[in-house]
A and B are shown apart, each in its own frame.
Chain A
Amino acid sequence: MDFRYTEISLNPCTAFPAGVELKRPLLDVLLRNGKRAVSLTAMVDSGSDFCIFPASFAKALGIALPTGKSITFTGSADRPQVAHFETIQVAIWNENREEDPISFDVYAGFCDSVEHVGLGILGQHGFFSQFKVTCDHTNEVLTIT
């Protein structure tokens, strides 16, 4: 299934005096836990070990934190971060919704410290481990098979 990249503009700064048009491999994903479901935009991130979502989505899905299944990890921030894990269901459609969604279970982490990012993160364990993912930046297309 093919997905268009998403383009977002950043304001000029000293590093990019003319601003910069970022093209990101973003997907809209439906997260489900039993009868509760919520959609969000998620970044396909081959550099992330796990699939991580902002902690507020746990509450929206009826998952009480802490779950008792946690891990401490590090990212670009200079401090340890804690993610609380639970198995949820994920569905991904492309924008025309003409094909059946890609649906899968994922053991995902929910983390306060990615709240400010405002995106889900689809990483190696649980996403790349289940699919062949091709990020074609030149042609601005992401393919999942």
Chain B
Amino acid sequence: MKAFNMTEVLKNAPVGEWLALSPSKDRIIASSPDLEVALNAAKELGEDNPVMMKAPSPYALVL
């Protein structure tokens, strides 16, 4: 089983902002520094259940 590669979809993502991703996580539907703004923007664009995550810093390791 090969890992799901998010490199491409995150390549131009706004670092530090909440991303509303499609359920398959192959595209960013909306983004905002504010979680609920990003959520609502995705819903207005027709995605009722986006997957939320923050765009990682290119240097951010998670400990």
Contact = CB atoms under 8 A, between A and B. Distances in A.
19 contacts: A4-B1, A4-B3, A5-B3, A7-B4, A8-B7, A10-B60, A21-B7, A24-B62, A37-B49, A39-B23, A41-B53, A43-B62, A56-B34, A59-B35, A59-B36, A75-B63, A118-B53, A139-B1, A140-B1
Interface residues of A, number: 37
B60 to A, nearest CB: 8
Contact of A118 (B3, B7, B54, B59): B54
B56 A2 contact: no
Q: Is the interface of A mostly helix, strand, loop or mixed?
A: strand
Interface in A1-56: 2, 4-11, 13, 21-24, 28, 30, 37-41, 43, 54, 56
